[in-house]
């Protein structure tokens, strides 16, 4: 019973005093920085927020590029391993040429069977 009363008291104090606390914080900010500085602070905060979002987007893009590079490297290694197994020279071929050569070698093997 006492716990419920204590919880009710805490909720009343913080619930009722929520608006008053916000008002007190606003007054302190105005007194501390002055009325003329608040728009500058808001602009600075907006610019900082914008820069943060740009940096976040750029970091995501770079991370995706790194993932794609790793995937491309792994794909090339797989193609080279398959070409080596089939006896195809892959040193002077790009990925597309190597795929065509592998497909033609596989199709040759199917036709011979």
Element (H or E) spanning 92, and its range? none
Q: How much is the pLDDT for 12?
A: 65
Count of domains observed in the chain: 2
Q: pLDDT tens digits, residue range 36-67? A: 888 888 888 899 989 988 888 888 888 788 77
Specify whether 23 is located in the same domain as 75. Answer: no
Average pLDDT value over all residues in the chain: 78
Specify whether 90 is located in the same domain as 60. Answer: yes
Supply the range of the domain harboring residue 103. 51-113
Specify whether 31 is located in the same domain as 61. Answer: no
What does the DSSP 8-state code read for residue 91?
T
**Structure tokens that stand for 56 in this block:** 């976040």
Over range 18-46, report the average pLDDT: 80
Give me the helices (H) in the chain, please: 2-16, 18-33, 37-86, 95-112
Specify whether 65 is located in the same domain as 112. Answer: yes
Residue 84 lies in a domain: yes
> What dihedral angle (degrees, nearest 10) is formed by the CA atoms of 9, 12, 14, 19?
-160
């Amino acid at each position: 019973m006492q716990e419920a009363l204590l919880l009710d008291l805490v909720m009343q104090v913080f619930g009722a005093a929520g608006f008053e606390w916000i008002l007190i914080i606003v007054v302190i900010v105005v007194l501390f920085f002055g009325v003329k500085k608040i728009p500058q602070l808001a602009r600075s905060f907006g610019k900082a927020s914008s820069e943060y979002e740009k940096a976040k987007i750029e970091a995501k893009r770079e991370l995706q590029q790194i993932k794609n590079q790793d995937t491309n490297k792994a794909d090339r290694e797989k193609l080279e391993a398959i070409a080596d197994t089939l006896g195809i020279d892959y040193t002077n071929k790009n990925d597309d040429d190597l795929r065509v050569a592998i497909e033609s070698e596989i199709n040759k093997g199917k036709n011979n069977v």
